[in-house]
């Protein structure tokens, strides 16, 4: 049953990632990967809320399988983030590459922290 929850979460996360990426990138005139940045940050926020909920006893393994592994696993993408950062560097855009790497890591950590605070406020 757990694998089915992961599959269902992934079936929601993958198209959400695609739609978020396209919606954000369509509004940008820069090569900076704002779409991937947004999808990864959003996924980290969801993971922060889920982690906070689980820490207070809410949810359980089924929520973790569906949201964390399935939905957020498909929504966030380390491989695309890495590829886009390397692409920026290989095309001579070192400042953008460094900015992408630093801002993605920092925003992800910040989003998890915000998610934990939200969970604490809701279920605390």
pLDDT tens for residues 7-22? 999 999 999 999 999 9
Task: Give the per-residue pLDDT at 70.
Answer: 96
Q: What is the pTM of this model?
A: 0.94
In the chain, the number of structural domains is: 1
Is position 73 annotated in a ligand binding site? Answer: yes
Q: Which domain holds residue 108?
A: 2-123
The total of other beta-carbon atoms located within 10 Å of residue 61's CB is: 10
- Whether residue 35 is predicted with pLDDT greater than 90 in this model: the reply is yes
Is the separation of the CB atoms in 85 and 103 below 8 Å? no
Q: Measuring CA to CA, which residue among 109, 63, 76 is closest to residue 55?
A: 63
Task: Give the per-residue pLDDT at 103.
Answer: 97
pLDDT tens-digit map of 52-103: 999 999 888 888 999 999 999 999 999 999 999 999 999 999 999 999 999 9
Is position 76 annotated in a ligand binding site? Answer: yes
């Amino acid at each position: 049953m757990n694998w089915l929850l992961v599959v269902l979460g992934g079936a929601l996360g993958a198209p959400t990632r695609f739609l978020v990426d396209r919606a954000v990138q369509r509004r940008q005139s820069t090569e900076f990967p704002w779409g991937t940045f947004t999808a990864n940050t959003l996924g980290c926020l969801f993971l922060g809320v889920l982690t906070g909920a689980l820490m207070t006893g809410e949810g359980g393994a089924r929520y973790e399988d569906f949201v964390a592994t399935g939905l957020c696993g498909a929504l966030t993408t380390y491989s695309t983030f890495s590829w886009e950062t390397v692409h920026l560097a290989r095309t001579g855009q070192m400042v953008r590459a460094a900015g992408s790497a630093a801002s993605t890591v920092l925003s992800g950590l910040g989003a998890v922290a915000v998610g934990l605070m939200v969970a604490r406020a809701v279920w605390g």
